[in-house]
Amino acid sequence: MPTPTETYAAIDLGSNSFHMVVAHAQEDRIQIIDKIKDMVRLAGGLDEDDRLQEDVMNIALECLQRFGQRIKNIPSANVRAVGTNTLRQAKNSASFLKKANKALGMPIEIISGREEARLIFSGVGYSNYNEQEQRLVIDIGGGSTEFAIGIGYDAHLTESLQMGCVSMTRRFFSSGEITAKKMRKAILAARQELELIEIHYKKIGWQACLGSSGTINSISDVIAALGNGDRTIKPEPLYKLRDRLVGAGHTDKLKLEGLPINRVPVFPGGVAILCAAFESLGIDSMQPSEGALREGLLLDLFGRLHARDIRNSTVQEMQQRYGVDQQHAENVKATATACFIQLKDKWKLDAENDLRLLGWASSLHEIGLAISHSQYHKHGAYLLSNSDLAGFSREVQTQLAFLVRCHRRKLVDEAISQLPEELQGRMYNLAIILRLSVVLNRHRLVDKLTDFRISANDDRIKLTFPDAWLENHPLTEADLESEAEYLKAIKIKLVFSQAD
């Protein structure tokens, strides 16, 4: 009997273009069946105060409505949408995302620059897979440029620099005028950004270089049209293209075969960035790739739904890096799971996503001990808020940091205020489960504690333990009494007893 075909979709809200790919998956094979692209130029809609202007937001929302129609019949679990540099940067990003989520019909995640670079590398692997050679992948977006070195689908070195074809063009070619002086200044500015990674990337090295994104593919197409049809980008034809732009003098006069009209306004900025990358990193040849962030998203999403979630590997790496007592973490996780199962219906918790988040928080609640025992919950929250965690969006990192911050001591209003209002009640409930699980395992015995009952209503939580258990664990009883005082501050009454 044939394996049923599933449909997936990945949506990339880039700083220059919005992309969507739709794919069929059967067993371990993914086949893209549809691609939609819209040149939104989100980065061009940022004003001097880094706020998205109304006109560009309307264009973006109209595009997302069209995307929403295409994915309407695809299960929401099979769709992932992410925002990149401009949405990371925009000060009114949160208010825009509320409208964007409604237009698309599903939530949009904001990912970090390094997470973007990781996914791009994976997407290039989808189109040009090679597990024998180490590769450098570069992607010039509208607001940032990503760099990654790795093998196969897996990048082990990633970086995102604050320069893109839209932002660079706005800075140096805003009037459309292209002079030798402006081009030199743009390339120098890009090289200054590249100073941050130049030595390290050269030291690691690579056997092949690939370029992703519309900018690099357009440069490749133009070079092929100007030469012998070879799309390989090499220094000499790239610099000749740079000189040709300067010779034209203005974007209005650019007539280049292979260059789409809608890319002309931001083309000079993209060429300047690529010239700088070739000069700084000593690149002698680059092959263009059709694979990009959206293909990487598809692979990542497919892995999540088929027990290959990179976020689990990231959590394990964090445990190892910060010397977490993994046996204790597992015990806390087992107790938290037992609480979750008994409370999920009453508290309307998501049996998949909420339990997974609670499990990660249980695994990482003690990472702050690597800094200091004093206030270690705050140190742990800081590490989770500010680390580059492969596979995690900004939103999930913020939620994870909240749980670790609030797993002991006071449940502070400042921490909960950083979360969207619609999540606050659910996150408080998950924090309470984690707190109780930590208290019940404070003795750090080897055996997992799961033999208890827990129930709750709106303002009361009741724990019931086996006969004589509290008598045999007087320290835990004292800890529960202390926890009852902490919960009283948020108007929750904690009671506990032994079975008759």
- What span, in angstroms and rounded, lies between the C-alpha atoms of 428 and 402? 9
- What span, in angstroms and rounded, lies between the C-alpha atoms of 133 and 173? 38
Residues 337 and 420 both lie in one domain: yes
- Which residue, among 132, 128, 79, 136, has the nearest Cα to 106 in the 3D structure? 79
Two tokens, residue 70: 């295409």
Residues 229 and 362 both lie in one domain: no
| Sheet order of strands, 453-456 included | 453-456, 460-465, 493-498
pLDDT at 18 over 60: yes
Two tokens, residue 314: 């990231």
pLDDT digits (tens, 9 = 90+) for 58-83: 999 999 999 999 999 999 999 999 99
Backbone phi, psi, residue 362, to 5°: -60, -40
pLDDT at 3 over 60: no
User: Residue 349 in contact with residue 426, Cβ under 8 Å?
Assistant: yes
Provide mean pLDDT across the span 358-371: 97
- What span, in angstroms and rounded, lies between the C-alpha atoms of 428 and 418? 13
Identify whether 190 is part of a domain: yes
Provide mean pLDDT across the span 220-245: 93
Identify whether 419 is part of a domain: yes
- Please, is 204 exposed, middle or buried when counting C-beta atoms within 10 Å of its C-beta (0-12, 13-18, 19+)? middle
Residues 279 and 324 both lie in one domain: no
The pLDDT score that the predictor gives to residue 458 is 82
Identify whether 493 is part of a domain: no
* Structural domains in the chain (count): 3
At 28, is the pLDDT very low, low, confident or very high (cuts 50, 70, 90)?
low
**What is the three-class DSSP state of 131?**
coil
Two tokens, residue 304: 């999540």
**What is the extent of the structural domain holding 286?**
114-292
At 354, is the pLDDT very low, low, confident or very high (cuts 50, 70, 90)?
very high
- Reported in sequence order, the residue ranges of 341-480 that DSSP labels E, i.e. its strands, are 453-456, 460-465
- What span, in angstroms and rounded, lies between the C-alpha atoms of 397 and 387? 9
pLDDT digits (tens, 9 = 90+) for 126-165: 888 888 899 999 999 999 999 999 999 999 999 999 999 9
Identify whether 277 is part of a domain: yes
Residues 285 and 403 both lie in one domain: no
Provide mean pLDDT across the span 297-314: 87
Residues 386 and 278 both lie in one domain: no
Residues 198 and 344 both lie in one domain: no
CATH of the domain at 398: 1.10.3210.10
pLDDT at 450 over 80: no
Domain end call among 229, 261, 292: 292
Q: Which of 44-48, 234-238, 346-350 has the weakest average pLDDT?
A: 44-48
Q: With residue 177 as reference, give the H or E element that holds it.
A: none
Residues 147 and 227 both lie in one domain: yes
Identify whether 470 is part of a domain: no
Residues 266 and 333 both lie in one domain: no
pTM of the model: 0.89
At 421, is the pLDDT very low, low, confident or very high (cuts 50, 70, 90)?
confident
pLDDT at 169 over 90: yes
Backbone phi, psi, residue 162, to 5°: -80, 70
pLDDT greater at residue 303 or residue 116: 116
- What span, in angstroms and rounded, lies between the C-alpha atoms of 174 and 163? 15
The pLDDT score that the predictor gives to residue 444 is 78
User: Residue 486 in contact with residue 410, Cβ under 8 Å?
Assistant: yes
Domain end call among 235, 261, 292: 292
